[in-house]
Amino acid sequence: IEFLDFNQPIILRQLIADDVIEVQSTIGRELIYCIDHSIHHFAIIKMVLRSDFPYISISEDFGIAYSTLNYTK
């Protein structure tokens, strides 16, 4: 990952119905999105663990966005 150019432009293509949508982005922006979106999934995992597996210990911060943690401190 240290060899990536985070500012390198890329074009994302997505097929929606019969149309191909193209969006310009960068490698860095897409990696940041993946990190942020994974936190959303961690929050869902946390809810399931707390409801179905209460004996599993999990950090209070797990599944909370970094920006939220920084804002609330």
> pLDDT tens string for the chain (73 positions)?
789 999 999 999 999 999 999 999 999 999 999 999 999 999 999 999 999 999 999 999 999 999 999 999 8
**How confident is the model at residue 2, as a pLDDT?**
83
What does pTM read for this prediction? 0.73
CA dist., res. 50 & res. 33, Å (int): 26
Strand partners, 32: none
CA 33-39-42 angle, 5° bins: 145
Structure tokens at 25: 């982005």
